Every structure is written in structure tokens, then in C-alpha cells.
Chains A and B, each alone.
Chain A
Amino acid sequence: MAALTYDARGLVEVDGTPPRVAEIEDGRASFDARELTTRKINAELRRLLHEEGIEDVTIHNPGARHSLGVGILQRCRITFDGSLGYFGLGLIDGPEVHVRGRVGWSACENMMSGVVVVDGNAGSLTGAAIRGGDLVVRGRVGARTGIDQKGGTIIVGGAAGSMTGFMMQRGRQIILGDVGPGLGDSMYDGTLYVGGKVKSLGVDCVLGEWTEADTEFIARKFRIYDLGEPPELQKFVCGKQLYNYDNLEPSERKLVL
């Protein structure tokens, strides 16, 4: 195939061939990403997973580059020894990922399954529209964490910004720190657990009734991710007054709300 030449402004890496720089030993691979572009890093990762059949890859010096580790659809173990930029680990289905640093905006967007553990902080839109798996951020996160979440679990060790759980549809979030204004705004379903202070609740987000199932769920997740003894948490759920839960006309719904 002829080389692409469309990028006259120098914004895109046009060469998608893997650099073949990884060292492989005992079924594990590692490579240094310092001098590689985003496309080269992803190409090398895919080569190792798909061509070499490696199931444990460590990437050193990712340098906060964007869009790393996107679309990995198999069981494997990936370690990023450093931070990721925006849109990292999107659309993944199966991998177990450890980020020894922070992640930027929209990490794990549309994640289907697997586990992602981030040692540092995360930007806004963390876990946007995730459908399954566990996403653990040991630090703080920005705004709109789990926006449009459809499943899975998001655990945050620190504080979270505004509109956490915005338009959430299913799944669970455990926020151990404070959360900003508009928690659970316009959520359809799902559960939000908060350990710190809640600045304000969003539209149709209400306190939920604590059950034995909640206690069991929290204890299990804390045990799996070695988070210590669970603190006292508040539970928030959808009040189910806003969307599609009645036969009211819009004018009637205004009166009800």
C-alpha cells in the first residue's frame, strides 16, 4: 500500500508500521516509548499482543501521550510505567491495565470489560459511557466522572468534580472523597456511593436506602483493590421522577416535579 501523504501540517504520524523495539523474555515484553509517536506505541503494543502472542506488556515512559492502549479486545496484562494523556484505554474489552501515573480526560471511555487501576489522578470524563469492568483511580478525578455510564464500577480514592454520574444509566461509582455540585444529575439508574461531602445533588438524584447487598458489594471491592476498611458511605440513586417512569404528559410532569 502506498504511504499516506495527506498530513501537510505535520499533525499526524502517517507511518503505522510497528517499530519492533520491544524486549521479550519469559513471555513478557517491555519497551521504551520515549522516542515513539502515539501511533508507533500502539502499533508496537498490538504487534506484541497479536503477532507475538504476548500477554504481559510493560510500556515505559508513555509521556502523557493521548489515545494509548485504545481498542484492546483481549485478556492480557498491560502496565504503563508513567502517565497517559487524553482518551487512553478507550473501548477496551478484557485487559487488566495498571497505570503507574495519571490519566487525562476521557480515560476508559466505552470500556466493555477488564480492570484498569490508575495510581495517580484522572482528568474529567473518566469512565465516560463505560459498560462493564472495574476502573479504579487512587487519586482525584475531574468533572463528569462516569457520564452516561451503562455498567461496571468506578472507584475513586480522592475527590470528584462537578456532575459526577451525569446521565448515568447503570453501574456503580464509589467516591471516597468529596464531590462537586450536581451529583447524579439526570441519572436514569445506577448507584453512587460517596464517602465525603456532597456539594449539591443534581436533578432527580436522591438518597437511597442502604441494604445488605450494598455492604457486601463495598466490602468485596475494597478487598479486591486493597483499599483498607470501608468508610461510612452515603448512597445515592435515581428518584425516577424525571425520565420515562410514568405516563404523564410534559405539562403534567412539570407539576409533579
Chain B
Amino acid sequence: MCGIAGIISRDGDRAIGSEMTRMLQSMKHRGPDSTGYALYGPPSEDWVMRVKLADANAERDYDFAARLGRHKDEIERRLRQLGATVYTTVDATEYAFEAHFAYDGDLKALADRVEDVRGVEVLSLGHSLQIVKDLGDAETVSEQYKLDALGGTHAIGHVRMATESDVDISGAHPYWAYPFQDVAVVHNGQLTNYHHWKRRLERSGHRFQSECDSEIIAVYLAERMAGGDDLETAMRASLDELDGVFTYICVTADALGMAKDELAAKPLVLYEASDLVALASEEVAIRAIVDREIDTYDPFEGEVMVWQR
């Protein structure tokens, strides 16, 4: 089933970490297997990279902690080898960390070099985007990664009920649009021309870290935007080129957009106010952050809407 949510401020920074947690927790019944966030904090001059060293349910053999420590050291070494100046690394969990660094080279080369370390996945890379995803419900993940303290302008989130791939972090949303900075997607639905697009994008040099169809949307949109489309144009094109039933939310460094396929088979409720726009698979998620009677509606089939922060 899965649940998706998005929020974008029209009035400066908000407590997007805690707000997204409340939205996602209220939709726990739509997907208790994993929870993910894409959070946009204040833009930084430095690059922020979120990295997963192993999956949360990876087997803990005797060498587990030491091996991950070696892999983390190797990532730092490779960053420096590529010319990056690493300022800080912060452990989020025993198997995930974030790195802050300066770098002016090719992002794809950097991401590929980092992911060449065995078991490693770059969850996000950008100047303001941070993707956090893990097993369990929103309160569990938020506490684990200390997300309540995070402020910013916009965010998306996802609660996952695993249906077609494993219960692991790789199958959790949001998906970063490798190798494009600050683009992420959450999705509810199924793409029926997944293999067609995966092959096509792989031929263009993109890699996929999961077997999840949702990852296609992120890379598809980012590639179109890299080719000159703005977010709305890219999303409108996706309605024609992606088959299946889907409602998805895409975020960039300064915008948030939603798209719904022509069958409108997956729900989305929208609330627009002067200070924020909030959208979610269920209105209860919006009520979790707007505690008063509000006027909401469902966007129609084939609709694309984009809001700037």
C-alpha cells in the first residue's frame, strides 16, 4: 500500500524533521516496514553526503563492526584521492554516516568511486538534501537519526509496505536521483514499463541500487532536468512515458511537485495555505501538523503541480 507525504514552507524555515515524523507516523498503518525522509535544510557551501555502509538487517558476523569501520575509512580515503576536502563525518548509526566536504569535480565519478566500496550505497548527495531511511516506523527512525532537531524549507517522506522487493534499506524510499544533486522522489504505485526504462537509463550510464521501480522515477526526472527541462516539464513528460498506476512527489533544492497518473488509482490529499503546502496519501497525515479544520482536496488524474519554496 505505502504512504507518501510532502511539505514545503512558503514562510521560511520550519521544523521539518519533527513535522514529517508526525505525518509519517500517522500513516504507519499504510506501511510499517520501513520509513524514509528527504529533508532540505539550509543550503550549505559544502557537499553533504549520506552513506549506508550495510543494510540494517545485515548479518552481524564477528568482523561486522571492524569491516564497516574499514569501509568508512576507505570512503574517506577515496574522497581525498578525488580531490575532496573532508571536513567532518558524523556516524548516524553503526551502518550509516554523513560526510561534509568540499569538492568541485564530477559528481558521478565521486558517487561511483564511493559505491565501489563493497556494500556501500550513497543515499543522497547535495548542498541541502539529506536522505534518511531505515527499517521501522517514523518515530523509531527519527529517534535513531535525531531528526527532530532538523529544520528546513521542504521535505518528503514515505512509509513502506514491502510488496515486490525485500524489507531492507535499499528498498526503502525516498530515492536520490543518482548522480544529480538535491533531487529525490517518493512514490506510491507500480510502474509497468520498469524494465524498459531501467535498461534505457542504464545504457545512459546510470546505476540503480535497488530492484524498486520507484528509483526509475527519480533518475528519469533528473536526467530530463539535466537536459534542460524544468521540474514541471519533466514531470508532465513522465505522465506520458511512465506506464502504470502512480502518484509521486519529487523534490529539488528549491521546489516540490506532485504527479498523478491518468487513472488516479493512488490517493493524494492536498492542503494549500499561505504559510505552507502539505500533501499526503491520507488527510490524517496533514492533520498531524495542522491541528484545525482545513479545506483539502484530491488532485485529479493526470495532474502535475509544482510549488517553489
- Interface residues of chain A, those whose CB is within 8 Å of chain B, are 9-11, 63-66, 82-83, 85-86, 101-102, 104-105, 120-121, 123-124, 139-140, 142-144, 159, 161-163, 180-181
B263 proximity list for chain A (CB < 8 A) = 143, 162-163
Instruction: List 23 A-B pairs, Cβ < 8 Å.
Output: A64-B283, A82-B293, A83-B293, A85-B284, A102-B283, A104-B267, A104-B269, A104-B282, A104-B283, A120-B295, A120-B296, A121-B296, A124-B264, A142-B298, A142-B300, A143-B301, A144-B264, A161-B264, A161-B298, A161-B301, A162-B263, A162-B301, A181-B262
B297 with A121: CB separation less than 8 A: yes
A9 proximity list for chain B (CB < 8 A) = 28, 32
A123 touching B269 in the complex, CB below 8 Å, given contacts A162-B264, A181-B301: yes
B263 to chain A: closest residue by CB: A162
A139 proximity list for chain B (CB < 8 A) = 297
Q: In the complex the two chains form, what is the Cα distance from A162 to B282 in whole Å? A: 20
B284 with A66: CB separation less than 8 A: yes
A124 touching B293 in the complex, CB below 8 Å, given contacts A105-B267, A161-B264: no
How many interface residues does B have (CB within 8 Å)? 22
A162 proximity list for chain B (CB < 8 A) = 262-264, 300-301
B264 with A101: CB separation less than 8 A: no
Total of A-B residue pairs, C-beta within 8 Å? 73
A63 to chain B: closest residue by CB: B287
A101 to chain B: closest residue by CB: B293
A-contact 0/1 string along B287-309, CB 8 Å cutoff: 10000011111101100000000
B283 with A11: CB separation less than 8 A: no
A86 with B282: CB separation less than 8 A: yes
Q: In the complex the two chains form, what is the Cα distance from A163 to B286 in whole Å? A: 27
**B207 is an interface residue with CB less than 8 A from chain A:** no
B284 with A11: CB separation less than 8 A: no
Q: In the complex the two chains form, what is the Cα distance from A252 to B28 in whole Å? A: 51
**B224 is an interface residue with CB less than 8 A from chain A:** no
A159 proximity list for chain B (CB < 8 A) = 300
A64 to chain B: closest residue by CB: B283
Q: In the complex the two chains form, what is the Cα distance from A140 to B297 in whole Å? A: 8
B294 proximity list for chain A (CB < 8 A) = 83
B265 proximity list for chain A (CB < 8 A) = 143
* Residue from the list B32, B264, B267, B283 in contact with A83, Cβ < 8 A: B283
A102 touching B287 in the complex, CB below 8 Å, given contacts A11-B29, A143-B264: no
A143 with B32: CB separation less than 8 A: no
- Interface residues of chain B, those whose CB is within 8 Å of chain A, are 28-29, 32, 262-265, 267, 269, 282-284, 286-287, 293-298, 300-301
Smallest beta-carbon distance B61→chain A, Å: 29
Smallest beta-carbon distance A183→chain B, Å: 13
Q: In the complex the two chains form, what is the Cα distance from A83 to B282 in whole Å? A: 12
* Residue from the list A82, A101, A121, A124 in contact with B267, Cβ < 8 A: A124
B287 proximity list for chain A (CB < 8 A) = 63-64
B293 with A85: CB separation less than 8 A: no
A102 with B297: CB separation less than 8 A: yes
Q: In the complex the two chains form, what is the Cα distance from A139 to B298 in whole Å? A: 11
Smallest beta-carbon distance B40→chain A, Å: 26
* Residue from the list B28, B29, B286, B298 in contact with A123, Cβ < 8 A: B298
B264 proximity list for chain A (CB < 8 A) = 124, 142-144, 161-162
A139 to chain B: closest residue by CB: B297
B293 proximity list for chain A (CB < 8 A) = 82-83, 101
B296 proximity list for chain A (CB < 8 A) = 83, 102, 120-121
A142 proximity list for chain B (CB < 8 A) = 264, 298, 300
A180 touching B282 in the complex, CB below 8 Å, given contacts A11-B29, A143-B264, A162-B263: no
Smallest beta-carbon distance B6→chain A, Å: 17
A65 to chain B: closest residue by CB: B284
A121 to chain B: closest residue by CB: B297
A124 with B298: CB separation less than 8 A: yes
Q: In the complex the two chains form, what is the Cα distance from A123 to B269 in whole Å? A: 8
A85 touching B267 in the complex, CB below 8 Å, given contacts A102-B297, A124-B298: no
**Residue of A63, A82, A142 most packed against chain B (CB within 10 A):** A142
**Residue of B282, B283, B286, B297 most packed against chain A (CB within 10 A):** B283
A123 proximity list for chain B (CB < 8 A) = 267, 269, 298
A63 touching B29 in the complex, CB below 8 Å, given contacts A124-B264, A162-B263: no
Q: In the complex the two chains form, what is the Cα distance from A104 to B286 in whole Å? A: 13
A85 touching B283 in the complex, CB below 8 Å, given contacts A161-B264, A181-B262: yes
Q: In the complex the two chains form, what is the Cα distance from A143 to B263 in whole Å? A: 8
The 6 A-B residue pairs whose C-beta atoms are closest, nearest first, are: A64-B283, A143-B264, A142-B298, A162-B301, A121-B297, A161-B300
Smallest beta-carbon distance A33→chain B, Å: 12
A121 proximity list for chain B (CB < 8 A) = 295-298
A180 proximity list for chain B (CB < 8 A) = 300-301
A101 proximity list for chain B (CB < 8 A) = 293
Q: In the complex the two chains form, what is the Cα distance from A142 to B299 in whole Å? A: 8
